[in-house]
Structures are given as structure tokens and as C-alpha cells.
């Protein structure tokens, strides 16, 4: 095939992966990025170790994408978690499997991997232009706002890899939504995913426990029962155990206006045993002392019990035990999308073909978090962004040779 000109808008993992494939196939590839540097969210993900993929069996891995599983499956099968690890190793980044099955670079950061990746792209002739904000179309051309003013760019094919709507200060601010809507692309509204929630904590509780971790508990919602840990914040709750329930809780709040996350503060112990231990405490002892000495419950866990269960002071040992095993945290609303790890919503699957091309804009493709899919934390997000970037690049190749 002749060498073609390809414009990739957005330099996150999805755009960079597409650039790698297309430049490897000898096309002339330019990445246009609004921010002063590419890969800012990828770098931030590196601050918590860069959980790049997950080691669980693939038959389980691809079910993590809920109703998007079927559409994402071909892309994920073509770039599996094993492939992600092999690709990272090819860039000099060895990975290891953590205790939870999550996969991280041995260095627990993103910068060496990103540096090596950009070097490879440079070697393959990819041009990266920063401070180029895509503002829409002028006919078939792309329009960019740049420090030198507006400019138009023509290309044989375009990939939009503009990200979702969380952490907008890192570049993915969903500023493109109206442009695509005006071109007949159907979008679902962006919503927070893997997010914290507001809870109406009392001032006293916030003062004592904001910032406190709550470890080794289980939490139950319509998403099931999961074990893990979370953090009490001054607004409510956040952290991995909360994120694991976030999609279900967010949808319940939207549909019914209320949602409850039920905590088992002592998952290893039966209610009968807890009640028996509590009943051995002197009746005149304070609640704090009975909880601490009888059930070994103190600090943030005891605080949560008092905060979440009404009339706890007058509870019998059996009632106390039942509350310890099922403390209801009433949620008010998800935290704002700007604070979420990721977002749901964006370009609908109906709006794109099997090759990731927008049905209403032939020659324009999409990849990454700007498509409406969501997944829990655990390396699923980055894997799917890399896999869809790759799938869209293959879609572009197929379209150019049609």
C-alpha cells in the first residue's frame, strides 16, 4: 500500500498504541496533542504503581467490561493481558503479578515505559505536535487551535483518541462532545466510574476519622460482596473497595435516588460469636469499651458503627453483633467526575463499525476511553485502551486498502 498520511488526535495510551502500529506499517503519522506533553493520565496512573493489566484467566478477564464485553472481545483477544506484558517487556519494562493478581511494572512507575515508548515512536518517524487543540472540522479537514493560531490539517485517515471525562486538568476534558454531536455521532452522557461517594458524615466523625483507612472488611451492594479496604474522606468514602461497587451504586442513585453500601466490619467472625463475646462485658461499661474489649472493634470501625447505625447506644449484644456484620452506609451522590479514576459514557458502540470507524464520519476512527465502556480498576482500563488503539489502527489499515 502507498504511504498514507494519518492524523491521530490525543496522545494517551490509545493514541500512542495506534501510532506505533500505523508508523510500523510505514504510514506517515502525526499525533496532535492539546497539552504540553503526551501521556499525562498514564503518568498519573504511574503514581500508584501503573497497574497495567491483570493476570486472571482470560475467560474471566474479558467479562469485566459488563455489557461492552461482546464489542471489546475481538480487540482484547487480539491484544491479551499476556501481550500487554510482552509489549512492555519489549520496551524494557519487566512486570510482576501482585498478590491480588494485578500486574505492575517492576519499577512501579510509568516514566521509564513512556520514555522508551516515545523513543520507539520517534524511531518509527512519528511526529508529535503538542499544544494543538482539535476544535472541529472544516469540510474534511481538521481544525486545531495552536499557539500560532488556527490551522487546518488534511489526512487520509483520522483517529480520535481523546480520552474520557475524568481528571480534565490532565487533558481529557470531553471538550469534543459538541463537535461530534453536530456530526450526528450518538453519545451517552459521561458519568463518573471508579469513583468515591458523598456520605452525610457528622462534623465530629469527619474531625476524628477523615483520612482513616478501613481495612479487612467486606462490602455488599447489588454488585455482590467483595473484600478489601477503603478510606473515609471528609466527603464520604473512596478507595478500591468502593470503586469495585461504584458502577452499581452510581446507577442505583440515578435510578432510585438512594443507595446503600453494607459493611461487614468483622468478616471473619460469626454474629453468634460476636454477640456472645459482647454479652460477657459488664452492662455498665461504656459502648466503646464493650466494643473494644468484647469484639476487638475500635478506631474508625467503631466510629463507622456509631455513625451508621441509629440507636446503637441502647442495642442488645445480638443487635450490636448484627450491626457489626451489616453496617449500612447511606450514600448521597457520586463524587464529581473530575475526581473519578475513569468515566462511563461517550461514543456509543452503535455509532462505530467493527473497525472502530464512526458510521457518520467515514475515515474518522475512535479508540480508548472516549468510547462508552467501563471496567473496574485492576489494569482493565489501560489494557482496553491499548487494545482498542490497536484495533482502530487495524481498522484504519483495512479502510485505506478497501
* Chain residues in the site for ligand FAD (CB under 6 A): 9-15, 32-35, 38, 40-42, 44-45, 48, 50-51, 133-134, 161-163, 166-167, 171-172, 175-176, 341-342, 368-369, 379, 381-382, 385
Contacts of 239 (CB under 8 A, 6+ apart): 196, 213, 228, 229, 230, 231
Contacts of 347 (CB under 8 A, 6+ apart): 180, 185, 186, 187, 358, 366, 370, 371, 372
Least distance to ligand FAD, CB of residue 226, Å: 18
With beta carbons less than 8 A apart as the criterion, state whether 292 and 320 touch: no
- Which set of grid coordinates corresponds to residue 193? 466510574
Nearest partner of 212 among 308, 293, 298, judged by Cα:
298
Least distance to ligand FAD, CB of residue 8, Å: 10
Neighbours of 342 (CB within 10 A): 27
Nearer to ligand FAD, 108 or 315 (CB): 108
Nearest partner of 9 among 116, 145, 113, 168, judged by Cα:
145
Nearer to ligand FAD, 329 or 381 (CB): 381
Cα distance between residue 93 and residue 102, in whole Å: 16
DSSP 290: I
Nearer to ligand FAD, 205 or 243 (CB): 243
Least distance to ligand FAD, CB of residue 168, Å: 9
- Which set of grid coordinates corresponds to residue 381? 482500563
Least distance to ligand FAD, CB of residue 351, Å: 16
Distances (CA, A) of 207 to 201, 384, 391: 10, 40, 49
Nearer to ligand FAD, 103 or 274 (CB): 103
Least distance to ligand FAD, CB of residue 215, Å: 20
Least distance to ligand FAD, CB of residue 353, Å: 19
Sign of the C-alpha dihedral computed for residues 400, 386, 341 and 301 taken in this order: positive
Nearer to ligand FAD, 201 or 356 (CB): 356
Nearer to ligand FAD, 89 or 285 (CB): 89
Nearer to ligand FAD, 264 or 369 (CB): 369
Least distance to ligand FAD, CB of residue 146, Å: 10
Amino acid at each position: 500500500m502507498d504511504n498514507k498520511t494519518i492524523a491521530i488526535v490525543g496522545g494517551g495510551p490509545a493514541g500512542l498504541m495506534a501510532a506505533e502500529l500505523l508508523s510500523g506499517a510505514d504510514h506517515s503519522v502525526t499525533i496532535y496533542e492539546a497539552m504540553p506533553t503526551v501521556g499525562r493520565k498514564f503518568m498519573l496512573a504511574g503514581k500508584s504503581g501503573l497497574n497495567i493489566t491483570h493476570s486472571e484467566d482470560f475467560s474471566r478477564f474479558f467479562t469485566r467490561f459488563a455489557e461492552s464485553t461482546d464489542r471489546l472481545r475481538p480487540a482484547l483477544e487480539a491484544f491479551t493481558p499476556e501481550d500487554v506484558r510482552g509489549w512492555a517487556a519489549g520496551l524494557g519494562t519487566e512486570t510482576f503479578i501482585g498478590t491480588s493478581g494485578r500486574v505492575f511494572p517492576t519499577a512501579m512507575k510509568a516514566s521509564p515505559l513512556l520514555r522508551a515508548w516515545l523513543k520507539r515512536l520517534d524511531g518509527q518517524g512519528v511526529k508529535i505536535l503538542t499544544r494543538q487543540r482539535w476544535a472541529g472540522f472544516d469540510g474534511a479537514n481538521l481544525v486545531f487551535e495552536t499557539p500560532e493560531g488556527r490551522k487546518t490539517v488534511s489526512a487520509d485517515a483520522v483517529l480520535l483518541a481523546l480520552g474520557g471525562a475524568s481528571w480534565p486538568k490532565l487533558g481529557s476534558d470531553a471538550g469534543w462532545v459538541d463537535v461530534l454531536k453536530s456530526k450526528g455521532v450518538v453519545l451517552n452522557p459521561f458519568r463518573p466510574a471508579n469513583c468515591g461517594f458523598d456520605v452525610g458524615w457528622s462534623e465530629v466523625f469527619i474531625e476524628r476519622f477523615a483520612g482513616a483507612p478501613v481495612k479487612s472488611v467486606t462490602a455488599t451492594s447489588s454488585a455482590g460482596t467483595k473484600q478489601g479496604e477503603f478510606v473515609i474522606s471528609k466527603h464520604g468514602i473512596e478507595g478500591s473497595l468502593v470503586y469495585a461497587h461504584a458502577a452499581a451504586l452510581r446507577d442505583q442513585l440515578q435510578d432510585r435516588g438512594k443507595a446503600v453500601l453494607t459493611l461487614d466490619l468483622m468478616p471473619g467472625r460469626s454474629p453468634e460469636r460476636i454477640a456472645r463475646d459482647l454479652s460477657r462485658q459488664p452492662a455498665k461499661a461504656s459502648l466503646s469499651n464493650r466494643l473494644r474489649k468484647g469484639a476487638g472493634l475500635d478506631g474508625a470501625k467503631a466510629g463507622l458503627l456509631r455513625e451508621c447505625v441509629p440507636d446503637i447506644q441502647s442495642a442488645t449484644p445480638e443487635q450490636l453483633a448484627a450491626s457489626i456484620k451489616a453496617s449500612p452506609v447511606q450514600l448521597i451522590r457520586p463524587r464529581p467526575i473530575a475526581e473519578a479514576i475513569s468515566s462511563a459514557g461517550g461514543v456509543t458502540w452503535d455509532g462505530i463499525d467493527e473497525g472502530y470507524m464512526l458510521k457518520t464520519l467515514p475515515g474518522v476512527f475512535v479508540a480508548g476511553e472516549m468510547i462508552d465502556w467501563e471496567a473496574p480498576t485492576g489494569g482493565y482500563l489501560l489494557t482496553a485502551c491499548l487494545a482498542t488503539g490497536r484495533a482502530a489502527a487495524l481498522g484504519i489499515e483495512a479502510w485505506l486498502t478497501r
